[in-house]
Structure 1
Amino acid sequence: MKIETVYFGEIEIEESKLLAFNHGLPGFQDEKQFALLDLEGNPAFKILQSTKAIELAFVITNPFLIETGYEFKLDEQTVEQLNINKSEDVSVWSIVTLKEPFEQSTLNLKAPIVLNLNNKQGKQISLNDSNYHTKHSIKGGEHHASPNTETR
C-alpha cells in the first residue's frame, strides 16, 4: 500500500509491516495504524508514521542506547492487550523531541512505546517511576528540569 509521509513523501509499504495501536496514542486516539520507517544513514533512529494523518510522525529511538540502566516491568494489562507471550517479541522505543542544536534534544522515558513484534501490536504506556522523565537528555544520564523540578 502507498502512504504519504512527513519525511519521505509517498512511499510503498507492505501491509504486513504496519503496526496496530488499538487504543491510538495519548492525544491521538483516532490514529490506530502506523508504519515504522528506517531513517536512512542513522540506524539509531526510526520514524513512527501514521498511515492516516500525513503530518503525524514521531522520531523514535531505542532508549537503552542512551540510558543503559533504563528498566521497567510491563503491567499485566499491557501484556494481555498486546498478547505478549515471550520477552523476545517485545521492542521498546522512546519518542524524541528534536531541538537545535541536536545535543539539546530530549526523549520521553516516562511514556515508552511498547511493540509486540510478533503480532505487530503497539501501545504507549505511562510509567509511575519518578526517576523517568518526559524530557530526558539525548546525551543520557540527565533530564532537562524546569525550575520547580528536582534533578537526580
Structure 2
Amino acid sequence: MKLNTKFLGEVEIAEQDILTFEQGLLGLEDEKQFVLLPIDTDTPMALLQSLKHVEIGFILAYPFAFKKDYSFEISQEDREELQIEKEEDVLAYSIVTVKENFQDSTLNLLAPVIINGQKKCGKQIVLQDNKAYPLRYPLQTMEGSAK
C-alpha cells in the first residue's frame, strides 16, 4: 500500500510492516498504527510514521550509537504488554527533536520507544529513574563510528 509520509514523501509499505501502539505515544494516545521506515542506511535513524495522519511522523535514533552506556530495564508489565519473549526481538529508539541547525538537535533518552519487531507492537515508556537520563541529550555527542 502507498503511504504519504511527513519527511520521505510517498512510500510503499507492506501490511506486515504496520506496528500497533495500543496506548499510542505520549501526548498522542489516539495514534495507534505506525510504520518504521529507514531514512538512510548510513545513519542510525529511522522515521516512525503514523498511518492515519501524514503530519505525524517522528525521527527516531538508535540511542546506543550516541550514548554507549545507555541502558534501562523494561518492567515486567511492559514486557507482557509488548509480548517480549526474546531480547533480540526488541528494538529501542529515542525520539529526536530536530532543530533548524541539525547539530543542535537532541535525543529524548528519558522516554524511549520500544518495539517488538516479531509481534509488530510498540510502546513509549517513561524510565522510572528519571534522573538517570535527560529529556534532551545533545545529538552532536555521537560516540563511536556511527554517523
Query: What is the TM-score normalised by the length of structure 2?
Result: 0.91
Provide the residue aligned with 1:44 in structure 2.
44
Q: Matches of 1:77 and 1:32 in 2, distance apart?
A: 19
Select between 61-70 and 6-15 the one with higher mean Cα deviation.
Answer: 6-15
Select between 40-49 and 56-65 the one with higher mean Cα deviation.
Answer: 40-49
Q: Percent identity?
A: 43
- CA apart distance, 1:41: 5.4
Of structures 1 and 2, the one scoring higher in RCO (CA 8 A, sep 6+) is 2
Q: Matches of 1:8 and 1:121 in 2, distance apart?
A: 22
Provide the residue aligned with 2:23 in structure 1.
23
The DSSP-based 3-state class of the residue aligned with 1:77 is: helix
Q: Are 2:138 and 1:137 aligned?
A: yes
Q: For each residue in 1:93-135, what CA deviation from the matched residue of structure 2 results, as whole angstroms up to 9, or x when unmatched?
A: 0000111322211000000000111111100000022121110
Structure 2, gaps ≥5 residues long: 143-147
Moved over 3 A (4+): none
- CA apart distance, 1:40: 3.0
Provide the residue aligned with 1:110 in structure 2.
110
- CA apart distance, 1:39: 0.8
**RMSD over equivalenced CA pairs, Å:** 1.3
Q: Matches of 1:41 and 1:122 in 2, distance apart?
A: 22
Structure (1 or 2) with the larger CA radius of gyration: 1
Query: What is the TM-score normalised by the length of structure 1?
Result: 0.88
The DSSP-based 3-state class of the residue aligned with 1:22 is: coil
Provide the residue aligned with 1:78 in structure 2.
78
Aligned length: 141
Provide the residue aligned with 1:128 in structure 2.
128
